[in-house]
């Protein structure tokens, strides 16, 4: 089956044909490490982690580059407000992002370059652009001449006269539409030497330099949030094409996480940080929530939606754990044809999740009928599918995740499931007194039971677990 991806550049779903057979080079615009990460930041990491896992599962050798922007106007402003060195501020929050990615089971990138480590390559890139007539130096700054690039606007499909770069006015610009490649040094700010005087790089320049340094002048896929289409990715394309590099063959963009219809952002004050959320739900449940929507869709955040996702994941987790308890070890098996078809169709995770839950329902039915072989086969398939989605319940990363006490949580799960089985048997026999007594015993132990069409889910405090 051929993987097909929606290319933001052509605005159509295209067959994925790699530059080199059997290999895939991917560049993901990573964090500007100005503060603590929120779920809007981390969604792209989760979404394109699924892409990477699926490519690996299909036999590709994947080189995955995710950068860190560690020098930026916002970093300088916020570190100054906090009275801390800019480099220490950036390093501190880079570690916060790393912890968030790791907590949510996002595979480490093949390499994670920092902008400040590629100043030399950026200077060389600017010189190529100046030599080609696409950039010019003025008063210690360097600018890209937008109107010199015939295909400028190819990604965002805007006219140059309608564009706003979002930069402050500068006396050296020849055209208001031009954007900054190099910012001349200002008193008290960090700077690096260049042929045009000391300064620091513009935001857009760094990604063109880092992507081509690791993946070559032409590579397969460039990813990022849809908010980066303009000006960031538009300007990356202009820089690369101006320097003579073909650059990315496919452009993929994930949708925003929103609250009350507004994009989640620090400037709006409507952010929910990863550390705060991980006090409310387990990391695997948060991963399930962020990864359950189609990557191109908007994802409206609410406590209710997060709770529903935790409950849904609990059904998967409970089935796999019960199968292990009754049928023994469950290896990773084969995903269903429907699952593969869903992911091959522009990473259709909602349809892929439907395949997972269908297998869970069939597996639960097999357990209830005593068909342990059938249940084990279904559980093996569930493991195969959830491993691609990054939420395999038997992945060691999640088994040891529960606040450092996974063994205790697992033991609790066994006891609760046994009580729920007694309750289910009593209900089947219409022994309502015993069924209510079982529920009361669980409630007294701090376990809340919720009955639904697919079974009963249970929670401990704010931590959600499985179902019966």
Residue 460's pLDDT band (cuts 50, 70, 90) = low
Instruction: List b or e across 406-429, with b for residues whose CB sees 16 or more CB atoms inside 10 angstroms.
Output: eeebeebbeebbebbeebbebbee
pTM to 2 decimals?
0.85
The pLDDT tens digits of the residues spanning 62-83 come to 999 999 999 999 999 999 999 9
- The pLDDT value given to residue 456: 66
* Whether residue 455 has pLDDT greater than 60: no
DSSP-based three-state secondary structure for 343: helix
Pick the CATH number of 4-254 from 1.10.760.10, 3.40.630.30, 3.40.50.620, 1.10.533.10: 3.40.50.620
CA dihedral sign, ordered 5, 7, 10, 11: positive
Residue indicated by tokens 């809340």: 448
Lowest mean pLDDT among 256-265, 328-337, 430-439: 256-265
Q: What is the DSSP letter of 264?
A: P
User: Does 467 have pLDDT greater than 50?
Assistant: no
- Mean pLDDT of all residues belonging to the chain: 91
Digit-coded pLDDT (tens) for 358-409: 999 999 999 999 999 999 999 999 999 999 999 999 999 998 655 444 444 4
In the chain, the percentage of residues whose pLDDT exceeds 90 is 78
What was the pLDDT predicted at 442? Answer: 82
Looking at residue 416, what is its pLDDT? 74
For the segment 429-436, the average pLDDT, to the nearest whole number, is 86
pLDDT tens-digit profile of 238-256?
A: 999 999 999 999 999 999 9
| 230 CB neighbour count, 10 Å cutoff | 18
Q: Which single residue is written with the structure tokens 């963009």? A: 253
Pinpoint the residues of the chain covered by CATH 1.10.730.
274-467
The pLDDT assigned to 468 comes to 35
Residue 466 in this model has a pLDDT that exceeds 80: no
The confidence score (pLDDT) of residue 424 equals 80
Angle at which helix 39-57 crosses helix 283-291, to 10 degrees, equals 80
**For the CA atoms of 105, 106, 107, 108, what is the dihedral angle to 10 degrees?**
-110
What is the Cα–Cα distance from 177 to 135, expressed in whole angstroms?
13
Interatomic CA distance for residues 97 and 66, integer angstroms: 12
Does residue 454 carry a pLDDT above 80? Answer: no
Distances (CA, A) of 106 to 32, 85, 156, 221, 256: 18, 29, 29, 18, 18
Between 156 and 423, the higher pLDDT residue:
156
Interatomic CA distance for residues 159 and 177, integer angstroms: 11
Q: Which of 192, 56, 63, 180 is nearest to 126 (CA)?
A: 180
Q: Which CATH architecture has domain 274-467?
A: Orthogonal Bundle (1.10)
Distances (CA, A) of 147 to 143, 153, 404: 12, 10, 56
Going by pLDDT thresholds of 50, 70 and 90, the confidence category of residue 421 is: confident
Which distant-in-sequence residues (6+ apart) come within 8 Å of 222 by Cβ? 26, 27, 28, 29, 211, 233, 236, 247, 248, 250, 251, 252
Q: What is the dihedral of CA 370, 374, 378, 379, to 10 degrees?
A: 60
Report the C-alpha gap between 219 and 428 in whole angstroms.
Answer: 59
Distance from first CA to last CA of the chain, Å, rounded?
36
- CATH 3.40.50.620 domain range(s) in the chain: 4-254
Instruction: Identify the band that residue 4 occupies on the pLDDT scale cut at 50, 70 and 90.
Output: very high
């Amino acid at each position: 089956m051929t993987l097909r991806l929606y290319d933001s550049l052509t605005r159509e779903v295209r067959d994925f044909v790699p530059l080199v057979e059997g290999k895939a080079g991917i560049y993901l615009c990573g964090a500007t490490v100005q503060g603590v990460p929120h779920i809007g930041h981390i969604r792209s990491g989760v979404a394109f982690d699924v892409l990477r896992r699926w490519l690996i599962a299909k036999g590709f050798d994947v080189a995955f580059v995710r950068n860190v922007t560690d020098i930026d106007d916002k970093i300088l402003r916020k570190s100054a407000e906090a009275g801390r060195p800019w480099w220490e501020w950036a390093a501190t929050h880079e570690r916060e992002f790393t912890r968030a990615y790791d907590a949510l089971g996002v595979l480490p990138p093949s390499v994670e370059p920092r902008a400040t480590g590629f100043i030399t390559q950026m200077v060389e890139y600017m010189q190529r652009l100046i030599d080609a007539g696409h950039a010019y130096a003025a008063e210690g700054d360097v600018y890209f001449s937008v109107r010199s690039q015939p295909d400028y606007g190819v990604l965002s499909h805007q006219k140059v006269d309608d564009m706003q770069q979002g930069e402050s006015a500068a006396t050296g610009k020849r055209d208001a539409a031009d954007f900054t490649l190099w910012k001349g040094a200002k008193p008290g700010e960090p700077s690096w030497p260049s042929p045009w005087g000391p300064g620091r790089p513009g935001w857009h320049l760094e990604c063109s330099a880092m992507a081509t340094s690791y993946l070559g002048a032409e590579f397969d896929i460039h990813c990022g949030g849809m908010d980066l289409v303009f000006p960031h990715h538009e300007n990356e394309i202009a820089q690369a094409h101006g320097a003579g590099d073909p650059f990315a063959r496919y452009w993929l963009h994930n949708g925003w996480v929103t609250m009350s219809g507004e994009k989640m952002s620090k400037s709006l004050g409507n952010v929910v940080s990863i550390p705060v959320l991980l006090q409310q739900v387990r990391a695997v449940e948060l991963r399930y929530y962020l990864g359950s929507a189609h990557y191109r869709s908007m994802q409206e955040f609410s406590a209710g939606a997060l709770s529903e996702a935790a409950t849904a994941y609990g059904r998967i987790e409970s089935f796999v754990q019960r199968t292990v308890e009754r049928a023994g070890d469950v290896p990773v098996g084969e995903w269903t044809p429907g699952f593969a078809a869903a992911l091959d169709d522009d990473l259709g995770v909602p349809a892929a999740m439907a395949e997972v839950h269908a297998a869970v329902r069939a597996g639960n039915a097999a357990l209830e009928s005593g068909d342990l072989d059938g249940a084990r086969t279904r559980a093996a398939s569930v493991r195969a599918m959830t491993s691609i989605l990054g939420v395999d319940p038997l992945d060691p990363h999640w088994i040891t995740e529960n606040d450092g006490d996974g063994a205790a949580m697992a033991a609790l799960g066994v006891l609760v499931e046994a009580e729920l089985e007694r309750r289910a048997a009593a209900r089947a026999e219409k022994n309502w007194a015993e069924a209510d007594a079982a529920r009361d015993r669980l409630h007294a132990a701090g376990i809340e039971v919720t009955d639904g069409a697919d079974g009963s889910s249970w929670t401990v405090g704010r931590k959600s677990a499985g179902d019966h």
